């Protein structure tokens, strides 16, 4: 056996305390433009919330242009069962808000298969009360209502770099054709490119 294979590596002792190999599931929401609602983007696994935010910026921040990202643990999510048609808002109750109570963020799903979108916020003493209020206020014409305690949501800082500054339109379906055409025009005469695209790849540009 070679010497390198016989070495006893001890660098694991230098890892930070939280790096114990335990991964946690997080939910990610993205905001496409300032002032617009956050929208469900997907899940990811990470050892802690700080790395979860970093991973979300690296992954979901490159899937689409966005100005903000929210991340929270899956277990901090509270939601109604998904209805077949729509939720009856009358199944909830609303006794008003008190500023002394915690703030909960509300997300709703309009139709089965749609993504959850940030709808509003409310004050409630606990998850059950928050969900009941959310159903009463936002349940109409939805199939599911979700609430998350705002303090459990980790958000990117205003102005934080998420979407890369260099041109990545080639990664987007809407920008691919335009990007490819621009590259062809840079190295070929316009007339030649026009003639080339008349054949079977006509609709690729």
- The residue ranges of every structural domain in the chain are 20-155, 169-204
**CA–CA distance, 188 with 184 (Å, rounded to integer):** 6
What are 6-51's pLDDT values in tens digits?
656 565 555 555 556 689 999 999 998 888 999 999 999 999 999 9
* Span 145-149, average pLDDT: 98
More confident residue, 174 or 53: 53
* Cα 156 from Cα 47, distance rounded (Å): 18
Q: What pTM value is reported for the model? A: 0.71
Average pLDDT (143-160) is 93
Q: Are the C-beta atoms of 88 and 145 separated by less than 8 Å?
A: no
- Cα separation, 91 vs 172, in Å, equals 42
pLDDT at 124 (0 to 100): 96
What three-state secondary structure class fits 43?
Answer: strand
Average pLDDT over residues 154-165: 76
pLDDT in tens, 69-125: 999 999 999 999 999 999 999 999 998 999 999 999 999 999 999 999 999 999 999
Q: Indicate if the alpha-carbon torsion angle 104, 105, 110, 115 is positive or negative.
A: negative
- What is the model's pLDDT at position 182? 73
- Report whether 75 contacts 127 (CB < 8 A): no
Instruction: Count CB atoms within 10 A of the CB of residue 126.
Output: 13
């Amino acid at each position: 056996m070679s010497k390198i294979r016989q070495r006893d590596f001890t660098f694991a002792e230098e890892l930070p305390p939280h790096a114990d190999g335990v991964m946690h599931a997080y939910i990610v929401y993205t905001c496409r433009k300032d002032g617009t609602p956050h929208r469900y983007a997907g899940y990811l696994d990470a050892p802690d919330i700080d790395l979860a935010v970093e991973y979300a910026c690296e992954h979901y921040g490159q899937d689409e242009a966005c100005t903000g990202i929210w991340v929270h643990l899956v277990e901090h999510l509270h939601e109604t069962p998904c209805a077949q048609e729509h939720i009856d808002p009358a199944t909830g109750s609303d006794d008003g808000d008190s500023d002394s109570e915690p703030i909960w963020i509300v997300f709703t799903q309009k139709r089965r298969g749609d993504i959850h979108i940030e709808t509003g916020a409310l004050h409630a003493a606990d998850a059950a009360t928050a969900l009941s209020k959310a159903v009463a206020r936002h349940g109409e014409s939805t199939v599911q209502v979700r609430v998350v305690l705002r303090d459990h949501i980790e958000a990117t800082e205003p102005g934080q770099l998420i979407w890369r500054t260099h041109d990545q339109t080639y990664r987007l379906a809407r920008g691919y054709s335009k990007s490819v055409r621009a590259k062809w025009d840079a190295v070929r005469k316009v007339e030649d490119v026009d003639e080339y695209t008349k054949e079977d790849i006509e609709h690729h540009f």
